[in-house]
């Protein structure tokens, strides 16, 4: 098979949802990334980019009361249904890049990408870069904030099925969700994570063995199964000293160098086919520091390096970046 020579078109989509979190301000995240020069940076790397503006949620008729604790359920359902359809459409013709917005957006983005992967006859893996596992349901959540339920939703847990227009035909296999940087898990959430075999590399794992080994284990598995890989990057994956613009700060996150190394290795893998950038709250930022950091990390994912070096060539069905 000939080597891919034309890079995919990058489809940027703003998703200004903030109802999934208690801290207001994430609705400004997409425009902060634009202001930080995300589109210009990607075009400077040689990519064709299309900015599709900001998404709006679907109108949702009144829903019956939900069991348990889930704040703004109807509003999140509107965002989820709208984004799941849009993500599916964008994935057909390039690389979707979703600019958040809080992490509840992944309920829609990942569901839409999983549907596209199924059309392609491929599996979908998810790399979840976050301080939190976000595997709560309304029956386990202590806060009721729905950005803490995203993974449980796109993995098809029935307590969250009514977020979608219909139960998911192609939920992500929880065993194909790999989490890195975890350092905060709710008590009841632990049981769900064990029961569903989610792969978790918390900060102790990264402290003991670094980021390369667990990341390469994921990449090798994705390649061996000719799968697609969605990356979901939450600002609180990073240490708040370098990325303060998030309402859910947890000390002890990834360093600047660790984060760039992850992105560089992902680029070299050729496996990544879609990306979330979430929880950027410009109201909490310092002179755009966090928005600029996310832009720089995205540039590393798309191939920007300090010095040119040989890259690992993707397999014959490569469709990522």
Active site residues: 103, 130, 132, 134, 147, 234, 236, 279
Report whether 182 contacts 148 (CB < 8 A). no
For residue 225, give the nearest of 276, 179, 169, 176 by alpha carbon. Answer: 176
Sheet holding 49-54, edge to edge: 49-54, 10-15, 95-100, 272-278, 228-234, 124-129, 177-182, 199-202
> How many other C-beta atoms lie within 10 A of the C-beta of residue 144?
17
Report the alpha-carbon distance of residue 172 to residue 94 in Å, rounded: 21
For residue 79, give the nearest of 175, 164, 7 by alpha carbon. Answer: 164
């Amino acid at each position: 098979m000939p080597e891919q020579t034309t890079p995919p078109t990058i489809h940027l989509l703003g998703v200004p949802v903030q109802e999934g979190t208690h801290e207001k301000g994430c609705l400004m995240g997409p425009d902060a990334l634009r202001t930080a020069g995300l589109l210009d940076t990607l075009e400077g790397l040689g990519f064709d980019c299309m900015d599709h503006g900001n998404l709006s949620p679907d109108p949702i008729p009144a829903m019956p009361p939900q069991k348990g604790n889930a704040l703004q359920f109807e509003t999140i359902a509107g965002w989820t249904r709208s984004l799941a359809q849009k993500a599916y459409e964008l994935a057909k013709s390039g690389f979707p890049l979703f600019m958040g917005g809080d992490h509840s957006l992944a309920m829609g983005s990942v569901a839409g990408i999983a549907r596209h992967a199924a059309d392609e006859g491929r599996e979908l893996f998810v790399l979840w870069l976050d301080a939190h596992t976000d595997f709560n349901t309304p029956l386990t959540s202590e806060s009721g904030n729905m950005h803490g339920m995203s993974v449980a939703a796109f993995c098809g847990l029935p307590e969250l099925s009514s977020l979608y227009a219909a139960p998911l035909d192609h939920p992500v296999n929880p065993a194909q969700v790999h989490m890195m940087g975890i350092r905060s898990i709710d008590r009841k959430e632990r049981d769900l994570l064990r029961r569903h075999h989610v792969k978790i590399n918390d900060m102790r794992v990264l402290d003991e063995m670094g980021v390369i080994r667990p990341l390469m284990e994921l990449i090798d598995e994705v390649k061996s199964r000719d799968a697609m890989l969605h990356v979901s990057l939450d600002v609180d994956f990073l240490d708040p000293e370098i990325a303060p613009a998030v309402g859910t700060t947890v000390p002890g996150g990834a360093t600047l160098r660790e984060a760039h190394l992850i992105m560089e290795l992902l680029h070299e893998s050729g496996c990544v086919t879609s990306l979330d950038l979430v929880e950027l709250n410009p109201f909490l930022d310092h002179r755009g520091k966090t928005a600029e950091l996310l832009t720089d990390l995205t540039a590393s994912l798309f191939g920007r390096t300090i010095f040119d070096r040989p890259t690992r060539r993707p397999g014959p069905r490569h469709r990522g970046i």
